Chains A and B, each alone.
Chain A
Amino acid sequence: MNSKSVYKIPNGKLLKINLNYDKNTNKIKEVIITGDFFVHPEEAIELIEEKLLNVKLDKINLFETIQSVIDENKIELIGLDAEGLTNGILMCLK
């Protein structure tokens, strides 16, 4: 199932999510994170997308997965954060 969301991060940038997920298992099949935010290093966005594959679409799972990729790889997000990303992904389900 494909779905999109557009979410203005509070005090941040505009996040646009393209999500493909399995409706039965409620897990992510593919996610593409786009928008006018900043990520240092830039290539880390692909790592975040990769680590989200097969992650269950609930708030805690998403947030913890994203936050741990950020922490483990010392990724710096500007105009975006793990909570905003989580919210943007979950908005695709509405």
Chain B
Amino acid sequence: MTEEWRLLLTGANTAAKNMAIDRAVLTTNSQGKVLPTVRFYEWIPPAISIGYFQSLSDEVDLKMCKKLGVDYVRRITGGGAVFHDNELTYSIVISEDHNEIPKNIIDSYGRICGAIIKGLKNLKIDCEYKPINDIITNGKKISGNAQTRKQKTVLQHGTVLMDVDIERMFSLLKVPNEKIRDKLISDVKERVTSINNCLGKDMSFIDVVEAMRNGFEEEFNIKLVKGTLTDEEIKLTEKFEKEYFGSKEWNHKR
């Protein structure tokens, strides 16, 4: 019989709530209370997430965020700053001991990215995993990913770019030197793409979700069954939002 995992479609939420939900599911799954979980989500308002080890004030122009109504949050995962707008974000939470998850961290990135790659192939976009944490198509990045392991449980989340506005992104991120801003923007334009760019047409979020859902089912030979957050997860989400992701102390800690 095909193994069943939980599918969560939590819609669009604030940055703090999105990160709190991932953390809540990591907690309940690590306690064996919920199935391995795949979640698809969006961000309202658009937001910048920074990696656990990044300095918020070094990376993000907080004044510009305020002016443009863009949210920001520090993730529990490492990696770089991401501007979340016009993208599908996924997360997967699963025991480190699950037989489908390689023990080696880089190998497990590759395996989980395999689901996204199959999802993109379902949209007729040919792509490949590029270690450490990217998925590329025709040499350009279309997806960035980040993983943490806590309480013997893997959390990996990542983006699949649906559309990309590099100028807007760079107006929100600090650059080391204003003189090279234009050069940086043109470099990144050469290196980053999106689903809409690849296909030359706009895909709907729902269609991308469906493609990715199938990608996970094919990669892991499982069935994703639609579920909801448990009462405990909802409570944990509120707790983590208040104590971590919505707090100045957490977001400014580096």
Residues in A lying within 8 Å of B, measured CB to CB: 6, 13-14, 16, 18, 32-42, 45, 76, 78-79
Contact = CB atoms under 8 A, between A and B. Distances in A.
Interface of B: 51-55, 58, 76-81, 105-106, 132-133, 146-150, 176, 254
A42 B55 contact: no
A22 B148 CA distance: 36
A70 B52 CA distance: 18
Contacts of A6: 176
A36 B106 contact: no
A78 B145 CA distance: 13
14 contacts: A6-B176, A18-B55, A34-B54, A34-B254, A35-B53, A35-B54, A37-B78, A38-B79, A38-B105, A38-B147, A39-B78, A42-B76, A78-B105, A78-B106
B148 A34 contact: no
Contacts of B147: 38
Contacts of B58: 16, 34
- Name B's interface SS: loop
Q: Which one of A37, A38, A41, A78 has the greatest number of beta carbons of chain B within 10 Å?
A: A38
A42 B105 contact: no
Given A6-B176, A18-B55, 6 more contacts: A34-B53, A36-B51, A36-B53, A38-B105, A42-B53, A42-B77
B77 to A, nearest CB: 8
Contacts, number: 55
Contacts of A16: 55, 58
Nearest to A15: B53
A36 B148 CA distance: 14
B176 to A, nearest CB: 6
Contacts of A33: 53
B252 to A, nearest CB: 12
Q: Which one of A13, A33, A45 has the greatest number of beta carbons of chain B within 10 Å?
A: A13
Contacts of B79: 36, 38
Contacts of B55: 16, 18, 32, 34
B150 to A, nearest CB: 7
A76 B133 CA distance: 15
A32 B106 CA distance: 26
